[in-house]
Amino acid sequence: MSTTAPIRRTTTPQIRARKGGDPIVSLTSYHAHTAAIVDKYADFILVGDSLGMVMHGMDSTVGVPLDLMIMHGRAVVRGTKRALIVVDMPFGSYEESPNMAFRNAATVMKETGCGAIKLEGGARMAETIHFLVQRGIPVMAHIGLTPQSSHVMGGFKTQGRDEDTWDAHIADAVAVAQAGAFAVVVEGVVEPLADKITAAVEIPTIGIGASRNCDGQILVLEDMLGLNPWVPKFVKKYGALGPMIEQAVSDYAGEVRDRSFPGDDQVYR
């Protein structure tokens, strides 16, 4: 009889309880195999709609459909055992009404097995967040630079450079927290504003291009691994897989062309 305790996934209340405690570790993932690696170290994994740009060559996240998020969400859930899995709600799947948001969010949770969803927007989405939470959908909010609104913002622009805007960003954070979000991603805001947001709310702030004083941090996995030739300023490259992959492909192509691959060890006798 096995005495090994079963592995239990991190829950949204556990993430919520980390406010002001040990920093929360998070990365994005879109595949079962990378998710299995990240799962050993991350408290939650975000299946971000950034997959549209990272994996599918889109210019923005706006064109990502719901079924694509569901497909990648399933893969990440299959590849993991312990991290909370959060799936992004793509543009157009939740903004129209709380009822529409619930239908789509419920579909995502049922079809992927994820533990929560994330949606963008501050005070304007508070009613929807409250509606979802009251009906059993855990919600992670996302404020500051919201990529799905990049066309309105005029691109991917750092938020809060004008101190006159700070009150509005802080109000966004307070609104989503009061609506019932268990955590909030704070993206692309100046550091002192991120610090004020973190101090203003009783839920964890997850920084990306924000501040080390946020309650946790998140990066796009492919960015920090060095798979993308260009990354935002806030990304630290912890690897250089892009050049490594290119060298491996180059070596393979050369060996195929000079007929040294396959060698004796790669054929059946």
Measured distance CA(239)–CA(5) in Å, rounded: 34
Residue 118 is assigned to a ligand binding site: yes
* Separation CA 35–CA 41 (nearest Å): 10
Q: Which of 96, 127, 187, 246 is catalytic?
A: 187
CB atoms within 10 A of CB 8: 9
Query: Residues, the chain, total?
Result: 269
Q: Which among 178, 180, 205, 186 is positioned nearest to 19, based on CA atoms?
A: 205
State yes or no: is 187 an active-site residue: yes
164 carries a ligand binding annotation: no
120 is in an annotated binding site: yes
For residue 258, say whether it is annotated as part of any ligand binding site. Answer: no
| C-alpha distance from residue 244 to each of 188, 221, 250 (Å) | 29, 16, 10
Computed from CA positions of residues 227, 215, 193, 202, in that sequence, does the dihedral angle turn out positive or negative?
positive
Residues annotated in the binding site, as ranges?
49-50, 88, 118, 120
Residues annotated in a binding site for 3-methyl-2-oxobutanoate: 49-50, 88, 118
Q: From the annotation, which residues make up the binding site for Mg(2+)?
A: 49, 88, 120
Catalytic residues: 187
